[in-house]
Amino acid sequence: MTESNAVAEGSPLSRRPQTTQQYVLDELRRAIIRRELKPGEPIRQDALADRLGVSRVPLREALKILEGEGQVLYLPRRGYQIVDLSMADLVEVYHLRAILETEAIRLGVPALGDEDLDELEQLQDEIEAAGAVGDVITMSAANRRFHFLVFDLAGMPRLSRMIRNLWETTDAYRSLYYADVDNRAHVRAEHRAIVEAARARDVERFIALQDEHRSTTVRALSVIVDPSSEG
């Protein structure tokens, strides 16, 4: 990939968020999810800043945020690069997610109201519609809202922030997973079961389904990231 096409045509978006830094951060996240910025690839800051129509100041600040999340790596005298994919890292992140998400589910599911449940189903419809046409960006965004609807109902903002940080470190993996049509079918079936558990306010069933949801993802990604692990 050349410096000039580090971010796809049509991006930047026509409507920017509140701050330039947030706009740049959102665009970098999209580029990572779309794999326009690939694992191990150096980030050419001058070319990327020109492409986004910004100075290097908000770009550097956005890169520092991504570095804190573990999505980019800073190398002295070489600059930033996208972090290489690592199954060991993914497994660790998902293990930490399991610990934190279980607590959030225990507190969040009992707090679900009828409007929350309707929103959960609407989000699942968005996920399925995006998955049907292979729109990984829209699917990923709706998927995040689907899960965090319950996590946020736990009423523990610090817990939600910790879970979000873990999710953001694995955006590149998630895009790989969603790229496969069979994996999108797994997501559809698993989410439908999660919605049923939510409607029943069955906390233990919800936790078990979320555990399996993560495990299915890790198993599928192990074959993609480390093909030698198959079989």
Asked if residue 229 has pLDDT above 50, the reply is yes
Q: Which range is most confident: 124-128, 131-135, 165-169?
A: 124-128
Structure tokens at 178: 């969603």
- Classify residue 11 by its DSSP letter: -
Peptide bond into 76 cis (omega under 30): no
Asked if residue 217 has pLDDT above 60, the reply is yes
Asked if residue 169 has pLDDT above 80, the reply is yes
Cα–Cα distance for residue pair 120/112, rounded to 1 Å: 10
Domains of the chain from N-terminus onward:
3-82 (1.10.10.10), 87-229 (1.20.120.530)
Mean pLDDT within 166-175: 84
Question: Strand, helix or coil at 200?
Answer: coil
Cα–Cα distance for residue pair 112/46, rounded to 1 Å: 47
Cα–Cα distance for residue pair 130/166, rounded to 1 Å: 23
- Element (H or E) spanning 75, and its range? strand 72-75
pLDDT, tens digit, for every residue of 24-67? 988 888 888 777 888 888 999 999 999 999 999 999 999 998 88
